[in-house]
Amino acid sequence: MKFPTLTLNRPLNRRTLLKGAGAMLALPQLESMASTANGNTESPRRMIAMCNDLGFVPGYFFPEGEGASYQDSPYTEVLKDFRDQFTVFSGLSHPEVVGGHLTDQCFLTGARHPRKPGFKNTISVDQVAANELGVATRFPSLSLRIGPGSRSLSYSSDGVRIPAEESPSALYKKLFVQGSSEEVERQVTRLRDGQSLMDSFSDRVRSLEKKVGRQDKERLDQYFTAFREMEHRLNESAEWETKAKPVVKTKMPKDERKAEALISRTRLMHDLAKLAVETDSTRIISIITTQQFNPKVDLPGVELAHHALTHQQAIEEARDQLAIIEKAQLVEFARLLGDFQQSSEGEANLLDRSMVLLGSNLGDANIHSNVNLPTILAGGGFKHGQHLNCDQNGEAPLANLYLTMLHRLGVNADWFSTSTGTLQGLEFAG
């Protein structure tokens, strides 16, 4: 059976979508119960998608040569210990997604023309996965942010931004701090009351179906689909509230308040992302790193503000300072990969079962280009150790990679966003 994917780039019959919901809800239970040949339960697959909103210096990011024999760039050299565990891509973009920094909101959606008046986003790839697989975990997905503001990579099936958590301490409490029995009861009551109010309201709306025309009935149908999705989420939340949260040895972190402390904030959020996946609190995470408020990063040798440096790449001194920042970010990425690799899961490890994507919505921040987006995919059980040049003009759909990732998660989607098929050259290892 083919399961419909909730994107807004093609019209969908809402009733058909609703009829498929039962099958979609059953899918994660079947996958989590899948057995290996030796009778052990197979560990689940996960996806972490990360975006740096100021990009990477293109000349330092992309390697020379293609395939497995590529020559490391200054940036892939930072990741050399994991060369067999990642693929670096060039030539990927989102078609008709232009607008400089505004395109971070489209990084996981591929929604076209974000600068046009009345722009409405579409569902992000992490939420497609969460809608089908998220029922198996306390949190269907986590949307996180490294940096101040309100930006997020995650968008709902209606194109609504899902708020991202910036505070490591708040995230830790959400994941691991169990409230008192009274607090749990109050929270369950609030959730149930919310559902009860919606039940009462829906009865009134249903009575309208007999009094309105065809077009209005379609609108009501859309409302009820969203309504049922919300009911289901409320039920799930209420059930999870009564279950004990995981116990971890890691102490609750202190939030890093200094604007210039990019690397320490990154490390805190990476550590919590790893704990969230390791405890199976969630299997889907998005993380945006935003530096558009232009702080000066507190690294030796860096004298100018981060955002300003991206627009002075033609000056060698500025480019060298920017490379110090971006290499430090890649060191943290390598550290995250190492932590995942060292966490065992049966005969495999966490990295084998987790796709970790790092990229940017900017191909060249100096000129606000949104073509040839720097992209690395690590882990997840793919045949890695290669540089894939997907298009000499830098315009192959990034959504093709996202569709491939959805398939690796077990999401049986025919397409996503602007995809034209799965990404050629990226194969499953087993």
In order along its 430 residues, the chain shows pLDDT tens digits of 333 333 333 333 333 333 333 333 333 333 333 333 334 467 899 999 999 999 999 999 999 999 999 999 999 999 999 999 999 999 999 999 999 999 999 999 999 999 999 999 999 999 999 999 988 999 999 999 999 999 999 999 999 999 999 999 999 999 998 765 665 566 556 655 555 555 655 666 666 666 777 767 666 665 565 555 655 565 565 566 668 889 999 999 999 989 899 999 999 999 999 999 999 999 999 999 998 788 899 999 999 999 999 999 999 999 999 999 999 999 999 999 999 999 998 889 999 999 999 999 999 999 999 999 999 999 999 999 999 999 999 899 999 999 999 999 999 999 999 999 999 999 999 7
The three-point CA angle 112-4-6 to 5° equals 40
Over residues 258-274, the pLDDT tens digits come to: 989 999 999 999 999 99
Distances (CA, A) of 165 to 149, 186, 236, 261, 421: 10, 23, 21, 17, 33
Classified as helix, coil or strand, 356 is: strand
Euclidean distance between CA atoms 312 and 50, whole angstroms:
25
| DSSP β-bridge partners for residue 331 | none
The three-point CA angle 273-330-376 to 5° equals 80
CB contact set of 326 (below 8 Å; sequence gap of 6+) = 52, 56, 57, 60, 75
**Tokens standing for 45?**
């697959």
Domain ranges of the chain: 14-178+249-409, 179-243
Q: Please classify residue 414 by burial: count the beta carbons closer than 10 Å to its beta carbon, then call 0-12 exposed, 13-18 middle and 19+ buried.
A: exposed
Euclidean distance between CA atoms 181 and 365, whole angstroms:
50
pTM: 0.81
Matching CATH number, 14-178+249-409, of 3.40.720.10, 3.30.950.10, 3.30.1540.20, 3.40.50.300: 3.40.720.10
